Amino acid sequence: MTEFYNAGTDHLMSCAMHRAHMWRTLHMGAVAVFVVIAISGTCQAQDTGFATLSVSPAYAYITAQEPYGAFRLRNEGTVSMEVIVSAQYGVIEADSVGENTRIVTGRAGLVGDLTDRLIFYPERAILEPGTEQVVRFMIEGAAALPDGGYITLMHYKMQERAAVGESAIPAVATAISIEYSLVAPLVLFSGPIEPVLSTRVLGITDSTLTLLLANSTSYPFIGGVSAVKDGRSLGRILTAVYSRRRIEIPLSAPLGESPFTVAFDTDFPGISPYFARSTTPPAKVQF
Amino acid sequence: MHRLCNIAIAGVCLLPFVCTKLCRAQDAVSSDVVFLEVPIVVQAPGFHKFIKAYSDGEEFYIDMVDLLRLLGFRVDQKEGVLSAMDMNRSITLDYDQQQATLGEEEDVVPLLGELQYSEGMYLMTVAGIKRVFDADLTFDEARLSLRLSSAASNFQTSALGPRRFLGGEAPGPLRFGFERHLLGGSIISWHATSQWYRGRQVYTDMTARYSVNTLGGVVEGTAVKSSYSSTGFVNDVNYTFVRPGNRLANRVALGNQPWSDGTYMVGMRVSNLPLVTPHIQRTTSTSGRVEPHAIVEVLVGGQITDRTQADADGRYSLRIPAYYGTTEAVVRVQPLGGAAPYERRQYVLTTPALTLHRRVYYDAVIGRESAVQLQYGLTPRVTLRTGGSTARDFITGVTASPAPNVILSTDVDWPNRFVNTTVQMWRYRLGALAAYTSDHGSQNVRMSASGQFRQWEAHVSAVARHDAESWVEKRLMPAISFHTRNGMSLRSRLNLYTVNGIHRTSWRFTWNQVRSVRGTGLHTGAFMTRDASWALGGEVLVSFSTFFVGLNAKFDSGRNTIHGQLTLQWRSPIGSIRSGVTSGGMHSYSGFGTVGINPGIRFSYATHDESGAVLRIFEDLNRNGRKDPAEPILPDVEVQVWHAPVSRRNDGTLIATFLQPNTAYQVQIIEHSIRDPWLRPAPGYSFSFMAEPGRVKELDIPLQRLPLIRGRIAPLARPPGRLQVVAMIGQEVVETSPVYRDGGFALRLQPGQYTLRVEDVVDMSILFEEPLEVQQDSRTQDVEVKLD
């Protein structure tokens, strides 16, 4: 079970405190005394309980032939949680100079949008500590999709379930609540998978090779990227490139001055061997 | 004065939000203190409930009647004294003396200023509660929650009703109960054997065991025709009328009754003994100490059966369903803070000789010969039993389990001078047994011990027999075995014995290898023995999906002969055929199988198939709960039936076989195997059914596509944790939903007319009530709830 979004190198967790609500609360002068109580309560709460949600699998790759599956949510923490599930078109990508890897919604390069065809249930759930919830999904009309890759991002927004006491004043309760959002990509492949990547070297140190990979097809690349020198692999990393991605390959030895090669493979844990067989990995690149 | 000012300010500040509570509670305790009613949530893993509490701005006062009842105590209130008792404890709160008296030792805990009594309410401060319950309760002021330790010693954690066993084999709701039929079906298991020696038939037998579900009960019997029988044909018939769940008499039977000593008696039998050996006899508990506040869960048979959270000292207590025999329980610990989880294994030994506490079981036969047996659970760990018959002995005995891994048992028949005593112990992977028998002056002593360590197992047993004058037999039998993970095993056994003064030694060494190659099973083995003479042997067994070939051979140096045997077996759709031939000229042929009649005719290649169930999981298109011809079977939905093999038939239905009649079987529908997210099983994901004797029961399990009602409450004037949305038909609650922080809620409802109600679960006030029509063809329907 993997916690948070984890496709290769990225670990993304957005933690957004609702500052607007906080301000509104702080400006409710009549209840200022209770704000102080509530904030100190938050600190105290950290000693007695914590909220953690895990999503398994952390990514789902499905085919048009079997366009269904399930995510399993588990409350690993010690307090009750509310989870609201939604889906949005988007990807995880870096900007054009390889900086700021982030979730981008509303576009995903050439990868198609799966959101309108996605149905899932439930859309919201309350998870007691240690309990699980299965979120089943299915893609409607998947067989009719043209060849290519399609994506939607499953967002799992979790908030600690308010007990009566803490939220005796709803505005205060909202102010101190913290919303976590986990994102799990759901990708559907239709037809043969032939991603094409362009590779740019962003930096080389004795211990790291930094690359910017750009996908110029509608097929996401999912697999391993290796730095090879004199026929020997000096490092490999797993990644998923939907549009553009910055990766850092840890090196076991310096690359030195002589040429090296960046090679791609389709061996990725937790996905069906069908993908390995159906995917033509991008051609290796020499630098 | 300063404090009063603070309280007054606090009260004014809270007034807009909790004014209804304020008005009701302001004079709850005394006239000079303003109290606000502040419900407190009582929490334990898997448990969440509100109780009444009040605050004066500094202290929180808990309504002790509410709390003690929640903790499973029976509460009596009388003239300023609150008395609470459960099975093991008593608590007396004296509001005049300002003290608590705990338990039989009458420990007195002074609670000066912690107890407040007013207008029928018995209140106690949180600090006072801490003094009475110690670490079993933790008050979290930030959340206004009272957290209960699952390892509590000051109250019965099992009183927290909803914290039942999670998943596992805790029986779910019985959706398909026992049904009576005039002619419900029949199952016949058959077996036929013929043996030939050098062209001459030497033995035949034909046996049919039948079970006919009829006349509201079951007719069972065995028909035997054997060449050994002097009468040629034997037929034992027995009619049994069962009443599952009835504690006074759950079985009345007429016919030839099998008795506990292996004999038969003709007559009428009445009994309240469990109809079948239950899989779970009782629950037991395991406790220990881990990291503080770690989540601890216990798995039995791969299923999580209980889960809890350790207290601040790391103490925990979990319940385990105790199976007859040995139960292996895996305790999994998840420390807080992201440390890696780890596991511990524990073993529990349970004997069927123990009867449930305060339960009396009887079994009586009245006929030409009469007999009776009685069992009584004196305590949860001590069972008394007695019984006898008009023609045989009268035996009295007791079985005790002083610890979960120790069993003591004694039977006495006096004046026949018969005594039998056994002691069994089990700890982790070590087990030991000691038995002593005295019968008319002859004495037997038997001891054995066994242990496992990784891939090694060791066993040693000793037997001694003493007649009226001397020891006539002594044996010591150590054995050791080793197995690998790829199917290879080695065993060696030594036997040192003295019989009538003659010392002898024998030993045996065995090697076995089991492999599976592309669906074909290959079993090879060899052995070497030494007793009076040397012997060597080997065997090869090859099994295909429906065909089996076995060949074994043995060389005996004493007789200087080789003995071999070839065995063939074919498993056909309607039964099995087996044939064997030995080098000595013996041929044997046998056939066996089972036929089930009504509903339909069903054949099985195995015997003793006494009861079964067909699970038809289908998409209930018209949502009427019945399987209509046009409604498709869903062949991909997976289920688990505890303690029963399940296989899928060609038509997509599932069949559970080898069921014990009159037993409730637990079904778990594997949720993620349902492909369409909108479908959900009408009986729930977990339920049970009762297996019926002599019948393959048909269970229609509809999966329905119910419209999703998405709702939102605005404005959210009360905390969402207090609100609940209820859909009702008339006064019957059909579905409920909690309310989320964003005011959202969700319901799955059949199309039709409902009353939608929003209520406050704390004060039970109804905040909204309006009719709701769920449309026939809608997949989702949005609802706006406006609270005034």
Residue pLDDT, tens place only, A158-217 = 888 765 544 444 443 444 556 778 888 898 988 888 888 888 888 888 889 998 888 888
Q: Which has more confidence, B559 or B482?
A: B482
- Which of A13, A48, A178 would best serve as a mutation to test chain B binding (most B beta carbons within 10 A)? A48
Report whether pLDDT(B736) > 70: yes
| Model pLDDT for residues A92-132, shown as the tens digit of each residue | 777 766 667 777 787 777 788 999 999 999 999 988 776 78
Average confidence (pLDDT) over B393-408: 86
With an 8 Å Cβ cutoff, is A128 touching chain B?
A: yes
Q: Which of these ranges, B133-137, B384-388, B522-526, has the smallest mean pLDDT? A: B133-137
B40/A164 touch (CB, cutoff 8 Å), yes or no: yes
Rounded Cα distance between A206 and B173, Å, is 64
A141 touches chain B (CB under 8 A): no
Q: A11 in contact with B at a CB cutoff of 8 Å?
A: no
Superfamily of domain A2-190: Immunoglobulins (2.60.40.10)
Portion 227-256 of B in contact with A at CB < 8 A: none
Q: How far is B657 from chain A (nearest CA, A)?
A: 29
> Please, how many CA atoms are within 13 Å of residue A184, restricted to the half-sphere of its CB?
26
pLDDT in tens, B46-74: 566 778 888 777 788 888 988 888 887 88
Cα separations in angstroms, B245 against B174, B211, B332, B385, B694: 12, 21, 35, 22, 19
B76 Cβ under 8 Å from any chain A Cβ:
no
Selection from B500, B479, B475 nearest residue B490 by Cα: B479
Q: What band does B3 get if pLDDT is binned at 50, 70 and 90?
A: very low
Q: What pLDDT score does B75 carry?
A: 86
Q: What is the CATH number of domain A197-286?
A: 2.60.40
Closest residue in B to A32 (Cα–Cα): B13
Test B741 with A82 for CB contact under 8 angstroms: yes
Q: Among residues 9-28 of chain B, which lie with CB inside 8 Å of chain A? A: 9-10, 12-14, 17-18
- Residue range B352-395, pLDDT digits in tens: 778 878 889 999 999 988 999 999 999 878 999 999 888 777 88
Among candidates A31, A48, A177 on the partner chain, residue whose Cβ is nearest the Cβ of B13: A31
pLDDT digits (tens, 9 = 90+) for B585-630: 899 999 999 998 877 888 888 876 678 899 999 999 988 889 999 9
Tell whether A170 lies on the interface with B, counting CB pairs under 8 A. yes
Which residue in chain B has the smallest CA separation from A172? B719
CB contact under 8 A, A165 and B144: yes
pLDDT at B437 over 90: yes
How would you class A163 by CB atoms within 10 Å of its CB: exposed for 0-12, middle for 13-18, buried for 19 or more? buried
CB contact under 8 A, A168 and B762: no
> pLDDT digit string (tens) for A210-264?
988 888 888 888 888 999 888 888 889 888 888 888 888 998 888 877 788 899 9
Within 13 A of B382's CA, how many CA atoms are on the CB side? 5
- CB contact (8 A) between residue B41 and residue A164: yes
B716–A68 C-beta distance less than 8 A: no
Q: Is B70 helix (H, G, I), strand (E, B) or coil?
A: helix
Q: What angle do CA B701, B706, B710 make, to 5 degrees?
A: 145
User: Are the Cβ atoms of A136 and B674 closer than 8 angstroms?
Assistant: yes
- Whether the pLDDT of residue B11 is over 60: the answer is no
What is residue B268's three-state secondary structure? strand
Rg (CA), chain A: 22
Using DSSP, state whether B186 is helix, strand or coil: strand
Stated as kind and residue range, the H or E segment containing A154 is strand A148-160
Task: Print burial letters for B532-555: b (CB count within 10 Å at least 16), e (below 16).
Answer: eeebebebebebeeeebebebebe
Question: How close B120 comes to chain A (CA, Å)?
Answer: 24
User: Looking at chain B, which residue has its C-alpha nearest residue A118?
Assistant: B677
Contact indicator for A207, A251 with CB cutoff of 8 Å? yes
Contact criterion met (CB below 8 Å) for B17 and A169: yes
- Common-topology check for domains A2-190 and A197-286: yes
Report the gap between the CA of A286 and the closest CA in chain B (Å).
Answer: 41
| Cβ B347 vs Cβ B428: under 8 Å | yes
**Closest residue to A128, CB basis, from B9, B46, B742:** B46
A164 to B719: CB separation less than 8 angstroms, yes or no = yes
Interchain pair B145, A138: CB under 8 A: no
Query: What average pLDDT does the structure give for chain B?
Result: 83
**C-alpha to C-alpha distances, B471 to B299, B468, B498, B506, B782, nearest whole angstrom:** 48, 9, 9, 21, 87
**Helices B2-25, A32-48: inter-axial angle, 10-degree rounding:** 80
Closest alpha carbon within chain A to B341: A76
Interchain proximity A169–B17, CB inside 8 Å: yes
Q: Is residue B278 pLDDT above 80, yes or no?
A: no
* B710 at A interface, C-beta within 8 A: yes
A46 to chain B: closest CA residue? B142
Inform me whether the C-beta atom of residue A272 falls under 8 Å from chain B C-beta atoms: no
| Tens of pLDDT, residues B641-662 | 877 888 898 899 999 988 888 8
Q: Could you tell me the two tokens for A92?
A: 């995880």
- Minimal Cα distance from A28: which residue of B? B13
Torsion of CA B310, B313, B319, B325, to 10 degrees: 120
Which chain A residue is nearest to residue B738, measuring alpha carbons?
A126
- The domain locations on chain A are 2-190, 197-286
Block residue for tokens 């242990």: B451
State whether residue B135 sits within 8 Å of chain A by CB.
no
Q: Is B143 touching A (CB cutoff 8 A)?
A: yes
C-alpha gyration radius of chain B: 34
In angstroms, the separation between the Cα of residue A195 and the nearest Cα of chain B is: 29
* B20, containing H or E segment: helix B2-25
**pLDDT tier, B171 (very low <50, low <70, confident <90, very high otherwise):** low
Alpha carbon distance B562, A86 (integer Å): 75
Contacts of B462-468 with C-beta under 8 Å, sequence gap 24+, read: B466/B442, B467/B441, B467/B442, B468/B441, B468/B442
pLDDT-derived band of residue B337, with 50, 70 and 90 as boundaries? low
Is A274 an 8 Å CB contact of chain B?
A: no
CB contact under 8 A, A164 and B336: no
Residue of B744, B718, B721, B765 whose CA lies nearest to B41: B721
Task: Please report how many Cα atoms fall inside a 13 Å half-sphere around the Cα of residue B480, on the Cβ side.
Answer: 4
Q: Tell me how far apart the alpha carbons of residues B723 and B715 are, in angstroms, rounded to a whole number.
A: 13
Q: What is the mean pLDDT of residues B256-277?
A: 84
CB–CB contact A84 B9 (8 Å): no
> With contacts defined as CB-CB under 8 Å, which chain A residues touch B710?
123
B740, B748, B781: which to substitute to probe chain A, counting the most A Cβ within 10 Å? B740
Residue A176's SS3 state is: helix
**Smallest Cα–Cα separation from A82: which of B761, B723, B769?**
B723
Give the tokens for residue B660: 């014990």
Q: Which residue of A has its CA nearest to B296?
A: A130
**Element housing A224 (H / E):** strand A221-229
- Amino acid identity at B38: V
Q: What are the pLDDT digits (tens) for B697-721?
A: 899 999 999 999 999 998 877 888 7
